[in-house]
Structure 1
Amino acid sequence: MTDRSRDELISDCVHCGFCLPTCPTYVLWGEEMDSPRGRIQLMLQESQGEPLTPTMAGHFDACLGCMACVTACPSGVQYDTLIEQTRVRVEEAVPRRGADRWLREAIFALFPYRSRLALAKAPLRVYQALGRPFRGLMPPALSTLTDLAPPVRRSVPLPSLIPAVGRRRAVVGLLTGCVQHAFFPGVNAATARVLAAEGCDVVVPPDQGCCGALSVHSGRREEAQRFARALVDTFTATGIDYLVVNAAGCGSSLKELGELLPDDPRASALSLRVRDLSEVLVELGPAAPRHPLRLRIAYHDACHLGHAQGVRAQPRRLLAEIPDLVLHEIPEAELCCGSAGIWNILNPGPAAELATRKATNVLSTGAEVLVTANPGCLMQIAAGLARAGAELRLAHTAEVLDASIRGVNLRR
């Protein structure tokens, strides 16, 4: 975020085109208006008085918000700020109609609410047990959701305090998330065990809710502020040194809490304590011994970790410290897998193309396990691999570290 005006931010773009090969929609369609510089040109037209039409909004909606263009840009264009501001304007000026409106409302009535996600797991478990019947008769969005959903597992709540093993080195809060909490409880459990093994008291407030990331990325600013303010209330009183996040999109938004809640100094203070799991572990340095894992892995940079937060070296450093583990880099690593929050639900066709492309690149490495640090990426790449008829283990970075520290096999 910045104090500079929107027009100043727009003028930073010199239309050089370095962003084009990193932009998923431009790679898919080759359309200028579906590239970062094309969208910036549309922003300029709108700022000069051009009406914000549904057609123009469609090009903004098509952006995944992956921020690969921010990494690629030699001019330092703050496209992340521009697209976030623009999406707020789209939500205010362009009414959603028909199926698009109802789909968006359904998504935001479900995903940010842990209790509602818990209720949705019961019919999903039955559907999965029956072999996913009637899939071909479902609307595309619903079939996409059922394809993306991992096998439903029972969630066991974490204790509100998990004490450090040995000498306490830090007190950390753990964000357990919404989708992560509902569908990847093992990732949260592994995260807590790793942090405790590395000398952290882990505080897990049971009443924590959504951080607001999905709402922020979709231009629903007031909704995002409500969620974020409640989260600030929850964690401010805990006395933590760090707020640890194991979901890339959540971490990206939480690091900008001060911009989302400019009237609340507690938000800025909390944002300075936000760390991705890999960041805090590298800052503390290893304490627990690592046992060998004889595995070939491919590491996928989640866009909101690599591009938005600039966290690339830390996960690789942690993985490299595991004896016998071999790390392979993925071709076209900068290109998004197509998850992008809820983008894959709103755009199932192109999202499937991106997932297939990512799966093909992952398989080309010859790795046995795909490792990443975001639940959306895990689900999206798993779906791409399934469509390719490939069997490959997928794991969160926390699960790999946990297996090494405990000296157990990485669970399939």
Structure 2
Amino acid sequence: MDHRTDATGRPHDGGLAHVASGEVGTPLPAPGEGDAEGTAHRSFDDLLNDCVHCGFCLPSCPTYVLWGEEMDSPRGRIHLMAQHADEDVLSAAAVQHFDACLGCLACVTSCPSGVRYDSLIETTRARVEREKPRGRGERALRAAIFALFPYRRRLDLMRGPLRAYQRSGLSSLVRRSGVLDRVAPSLATMERVAPPLRTAAPLPERVPARGRRRAVVGMLTGCVQGAFFPQVNNATARVLASEGADVVIPPSQGCCGALSAHAGRAPEAARFARATIETFERAGVDAVVVNSAGCGSTMKQYAQVLAEDGAGAGWRARADALAAATVDLTEFLTGIGPRAERHPLPLRAAYHDACHLSHGQGITAQPRDLLKAIPELDLADLPNADICCGSAGVYNILQPQAARELGGRKAADVASTDARLLVAGNPGCSLQIAAALEREGGSIAVAHTAQVLDASIRGLGPAALLEA
């Protein structure tokens, strides 16, 4: 008999089926969330009709804030979707406006009518990918991105050359010259946001709980996260273990499909989703803990991802079970309650709300509560917190100019707090903002929420975060 217990101390059968009933790890529905299966059964036209064109979304939309153009607002894009719904061909102008959307979901949070803009834009992008040929250069760029980023082993192969480049000093020369910014803005973005590579011990397949075991959780390591931010994954596993969770890390896991889903690559996203569902079904865990905002948001909407690819009810039921089991790290830690002692971190830090954490999952209080419970940590909120930083998955590569403007605005907001450390639940956001600060001649240390908690629990002090 399996005597493992869940986060509330109840015994369970070691699988994900019980999670769908609400026992463990079931997150509270976020704005616009929790009804992916229902949305999957509604027609595109029906979803379009939810919009009453009130304009509440306009101040929350980053591209509307930048340019003030109606067609670059959620309301305007929905108008374009409706206009082209019965047409055989999407116009080039409409595609340009759809491509300019960050998919940040701030409009979903601000909409009083509950419009599922997230479903509308992903369905529209899938149509764009199916029907609208792109220019040769853009096709090549997109092909390179999606042949690389969702594949952990391919990313691992890049670590050596990237580390050699960073150590050579060429990076500073390239950035000062501005050549890449003028000749190849997308490459310039990739060069600027490439993280300083850290060495970290590989995670085992299971990290045992410290003290009495309170839960058995699976952990998504991610593709980009696993290759370029192993220190974040290691910190996540240590924190979970310190709080009494056995951490199961399936070695067979791959990309969750978030980047593909957000880009409209529906068959590819569904393929990754199916593989992720199968991996964690076999793991025998109470919950699946995710430490990357975009990944968690997509996994909680797997039924919709599979519906875009025409999956049947059986797969969508399995998707719903995994979605119910998926929790953000801060969501899980808040739910299970603190057990490990927190040591002081005398430091001023600024917290940035990653869009797919705050708007996609409705998680804003949990990370703040965890960070504020650390003795002597002075936590500042950013002005204009609801506006995206411009990272948005691979948006800053595909739309470098808009991303640069948004990054500059966010960097100014961070600078206004006088913080020495920037904390976020998505490393891509932190790197985007840090790169923007560097362009303006400033600098700031960046860390994931898990790293801050880990430093406090281990008693490492501020230097561990500021010098990392």
Same fold by TM-score greater than 0.5: yes
Number of equivalences:
412
Instruction: Tell me which amino acid in the other structure corresponds to 1:223.
Output: E
Which of 202, 206, 209 is the matching residue for 1:164?
209
Instruction: Tell me which amino acid in the other structure corresponds to 1:114.
Output: R
Instruction: Tell me which amino acid in the other structure corresponds to 2:212.
Output: R
1:358-399 deviation digits (Å, cap 9, x = unpaired): 010011012221110002102111111111211211110000
Q: Distance in 2 between matches of 1:134 and 1:190?
A: 32
Which of 392, 398, 403 is the matching residue for 2:450?
398
Q: Give 3-state SS (helix, strand or coil) of 1:381's partner.
A: helix
Q: Does 1:362 pair with 2:434?
A: no
Q: Give 3-state SS (helix, strand or coil) of 1:202's partner.
A: strand
Q: Report the equivalent of 2:158.
A: 120
TM-score normalised per structure 1: 0.97
Report if aligned partners of 1:155, 1:182 keep a CA contact under 8 Å in 2: no
Report if aligned partners of 1:128, 1:151 keep a CA contact under 8 Å in 2: yes
Which of 264, 268, 271 is the matching residue for 2:320?
268
Q: Does 1:12 pair with 2:50?
A: yes
Query: What is the RMSD of the two structures over their aligned residues, measured on CA atoms?
Result: 1.3
Q: Does 1:148 pair with 2:185?
A: no
Report if aligned partners of 1:24, 1:336 keep a CA contact under 8 Å in 2: yes
Q: Does 1:408 pair with 2:408?
A: no
Q: Give 3-state SS (helix, strand or coil) of 2:289's partner.
A: strand
1:137-180 deviation digits (Å, cap 9, x = unpaired): 44221121011101122343201000000000000011010111
Q: Report the equivalent of 1:212.
A: 257
Which deviates further from its counterpart, 42-51 or 139-148? Answer: 42-51
Offset at 1:134?
Answer: 4.7
Which deviates further from its counterpart, 192-201 or 230-239? Answer: 230-239
Q: Report the equivalent of 2:231.
A: 186
Which deviates further from its counterpart, 253-262 or 130-139? Answer: 130-139
Report if aligned partners of 2:434, 2:443 keep a CA contact under 8 Å in 1: no
Q: Report the equivalent of 1:320.
A: 372
Alignment of 1:2-401 (within 5 A): 2=39, 3-49=41-87, 51-131=89-169, 132=171, 133-134=173-174, 136-138=178-180, 139-261=184-306, 262-263=311-312, 264=315, 265-401=317-453
Instruction: Tell me which amino acid in the other structure corresponds to 2:124.
Output: T
Report if aligned partners of 1:179, 1:375 keep a CA contact under 8 Å in 2: no
Report sequence identity in percent: 61
Q: Distance in 2 between matches of 1:153 and 1:386?
A: 20
**Change in 2 beyond 3 A, CA 1:183/1:37:** same
Q: Distance in 2 between matches of 1:102 and 1:49?
A: 28
1:14-36 deviation digits (Å, cap 9, x = unpaired): 22211111111111111111110
Offset at 1:72?
Answer: 1.1
Q: Distance in 1 between matches of 2:106 and 2:305?
A: 22
Offset at 1:5?
Answer: 2.0
Q: Distance in 2 between matches of 1:70 and 1:330?
A: 20
Instruction: Tell me which amino acid in the other structure corresponds to 2:70.
Output: E
Q: Distance in 2 between matches of 1:93 and 1:399?
A: 43
Instruction: Tell me which amino acid in the other structure corresponds to 1:398.
Output: A
Q: Give 3-state SS (helix, strand or coil) of 1:411's partner.
A: helix
Instruction: Tell me which amino acid in the other structure corresponds to 1:210.
Output: C
Report if aligned partners of 1:52, 1:90 keep a CA contact under 8 Å in 2: yes
Report if aligned partners of 2:353, 2:425 keep a CA contact under 8 Å in 1: yes
Offset at 1:267?
Answer: 2.4
Q: Distance in 2 between matches of 1:244 and 1:134?
A: 38
Q: Distance in 2 between matches of 1:364 and 1:39?
A: 33
Q: Give 3-state SS (helix, strand or coil) of 2:103's partner.
A: coil
Report if aligned partners of 2:389, 2:432 keep a CA contact under 8 Å in 1: yes
**Change in 2 beyond 3 A, CA 1:124/1:319:** same
TM-score normalised per structure 2: 0.86
Report if aligned partners of 1:319, 1:325 keep a CA contact under 8 Å in 2: yes
Offset at 1:90?
Answer: 0.7
Q: Distance in 2 between matches of 1:207 and 1:213?
A: 18
1:178-222 deviation digits (Å, cap 9, x = unpaired): 111111111000000000000000001122100000000000010
